[in-house]
Structure 1
Amino acid sequence: MRHAIVPLRSGWDQGCGDAFFYPEDLPEEWRLTYFSNELQGVVVEPQAWVPVEPARLREWTGEVSSTFRFYLRSPVSPPCSQACRRARQALGSHFGGWILWHALDIGADLEIADDAPIYREIEAESEVPAEAAALAWEVPASARADLRGGRAWLEDYARVAAGRPALALMGTASVETVKRWQALIQLLGLG
């Protein structure tokens, strides 16, 4: 079975490149819903999900489409198990997976992942570990803006991913940039 490459950005708050994405009169509490109608998922940084009560996380799931996924970046320090389990449970079928930091050992974090996919960020120069069930690579800034460069990067990434699920992490790129990447991935048959 072949898996898709999914481009994701961090957070749904209005970024510097999103001046014209959110309508001027859109209430701030509707941004997640508006965002989820355009993209497939979002990376949520620890500072944005760890302090959030499970009831609010469940509310997030009611504000998004049925196919939208939340990919939670795991905190660096492991006393996260309880917070991780609560977040995973609250997000239910909208939970996409854990994005682990470079310094974490994948084996040590299996207990927080339950039955969810495991993602691992790796450096472009690193060898892909055989035990990684899925990959999460940061898209270089130079490739984000240039779709020709993006194409070459995506083709290399697809080769290295070798059929495993793969996330293309785009930081705080504008929503329009991520949408262009979604279209490029579809055109290349990688989605």
Structure 2
Amino acid sequence: MSSPCPINLGAEDWLHPDWRGNFYPDGLPDDWLLSYYNTRFQAVYLPAVRWQAASVSEWSQWLDDTQPGFRFLLEPGLASFPCDARVIEATSDWSAEHVWWIDTSPDLRELAEHAKARAARHEPFFVISRSGDLVRLEQVAILSRVLGY
């Protein structure tokens, strides 16, 4: 069973030193990290300081390195960002409606109810770990499969 509105799982950034050898295979080149990240996650949240520092060529590479359904959620900043459907400015109001911060709201039952409500309304729904907690992210991935998303 597949849902028109799956849980889009991700972390704040894909660069986490403690993921080396734990999530990312040993020896994986730095320029392959985002592509590998996208094999497990459907979104990434980028703080303004991170995405605003990226050059046009870096943005182009990021977009090329990810699958069409992947989403970049951006903390609002002062710079302009790429005009691409996969890039979303995650304003406070938008985030309140579409983002579940799993680190601050770890109750999986509550998350499941929220996910069901979003799916019923066919609205995008993102579950993001600011800390990059792989254990918590895996729990949400399992929940997503159990719910049929």
TM > 0.5 between the two? yes
Tell whether 2:100 aligns with 1:137: yes
Aligned to 1:68: 70
Letter in 2 for 1:52: A
Partner SS state of residue 18, structure 2: coil
Q: 1:140 to 1:25 in 2, by over 3 A?
A: closer
Tell whether 2:111 aligns with 1:154: yes
Partner SS state of residue 182, structure 1: helix
Per the TM alignment, residue 27 of structure 1 is displaced from its structure 2 partner at its CA by 1.4
Structure 1: 5+ residue runs without aligned partners?
A: 107-118, 122-133, 144-148
Tell whether 2:73 aligns with 1:98: no
Tell whether 2:143 aligns with 1:168: no
Letter in 2 for 1:136: V
Tell whether 2:31 aligns with 1:29: yes
Partner SS state of residue 22, structure 2: coil
Question: Which deviations, in whole Å up to 9, do the C-alpha atoms of 1:90-149 show, x marking residues without a partner?
Answer: xx2432x22113xxxx5xxxxxxxxxxxx223xxxxxxxxxxxx4223224572xxxxx4
How many Å separate the matches in 2 of 1:140 and 1:37? Answer: 22
**TM alignment of 1:3-152, pairs within 5 A:** 3-16=5-18, 19-75=21-77, 80=78, 83-84=79-80, 87-89=81-83, 92-95=84-87, 97-101=88-92, 106=93, 119-121=94-96, 134-141=97-104, 143=106, 149-150=107-108, 152=109
Question: In 1, are the aligned partners of 2:48 and 2:76 still within 8 Å (CA)?
Answer: yes
TM-score between the two structures when normalised by the length of structure 2: 0.79
TM-score between the two structures when normalised by the length of structure 1: 0.64
Structure 2: 5+ residue runs without aligned partners?
A: none
How many Å separate the matches in 1 of 2:132 and 2:76? Answer: 21
Larger RCO (CA under 8 A, 6+ residues apart): 2
Of residues 114, 120, 144 in structure 2, which corresponds to 1:185?
144
- Structure number with larger C-alpha Rg: 1
Question: Which deviations, in whole Å up to 9, do the C-alpha atoms of 1:37-79 show, x marking residues without a partner?
Answer: 111111111111112122210111111223222111113xxxx
